[in-house]
Amino acid sequence: MENYHEKLEEDYLFPRFEKAGKLVDLVKVLLAQHHAGRGLTTQILALSSKALNLEEKGRLRVRLRNFCRMSRPHKAREDTVLFTAFHKIVSANEFDALGERFEDKEEKIFGEGGFDKIVDEVAVIEKGLGVFDLSQFTPKGQV
């Protein structure tokens, strides 16, 4: 995702906001978080590739928690503020052209089946980890 979704934002969205002088401070934070996320991912993958001692498990847990802690508000802010504002700084034609370009990149990166194939692969991982069933996250007896 870092080389797809985030790269698209960095290559096609962020520069347009900077050029338009809109949400520049937000874009700086989002970009810094992309860099931080890549650093965390590198560390998480390194820690995940071997048997871990107790101290290493703790380091992995902290990095996973930090990634989730950063990513949730990051994605929420993009969805509610950045992507909404994007419609206002590009024309409808440019927006449609970007959509087609993104689909081409998706197929180039992920191959035939594109994003849907990746979603299916993630579902297999989620089932393996026991987090696929969304209903398990619904609070029980507290509403």
Residues that bind Fe ion (CB under 5 A): 9
Cα–Cα distance, 1 to 69 (Å, whole number): 17
Nearest approach in angstroms of CB 34 to Fe ion is: 6
Nearer to Fe ion, 33 or 63 (CB): 33
Nearer to Fe ion, 24 or 124 (CB): 24
Nearer to Fe ion, 8 or 52 (CB): 8
Nearest approach in angstroms of CB 132 to Fe ion is: 25
Q: Which helix (H) or strand (E) holds 31?
A: helix 24-48
Nearest approach in angstroms of CB 84 to Fe ion is: 14
Residue nearest to Fe ion (CB): 9
Nearest approach in angstroms of CB 74 to Fe ion is: 6
CA nearest neighbour of 15 among 28, 29, 1: 28
Distances (CA, A) of 97 to 19, 93, 103, 108, 110: 19, 6, 10, 17, 20
Whether the Cβ atoms of residue 17 and residue 27 lie closer than 8 Å to each other: yes
Nearest approach in angstroms of CB 142 to Fe ion is: 32
Nearer to Fe ion, 42 or 132 (CB): 42
Nearer to Fe ion, 3 or 142 (CB): 3
Rounded to a whole number of angstroms, the distance between the first and last alpha carbons of the chain is 35
Q: At 91, phi and psi to the nearest 5?
A: -75, 165
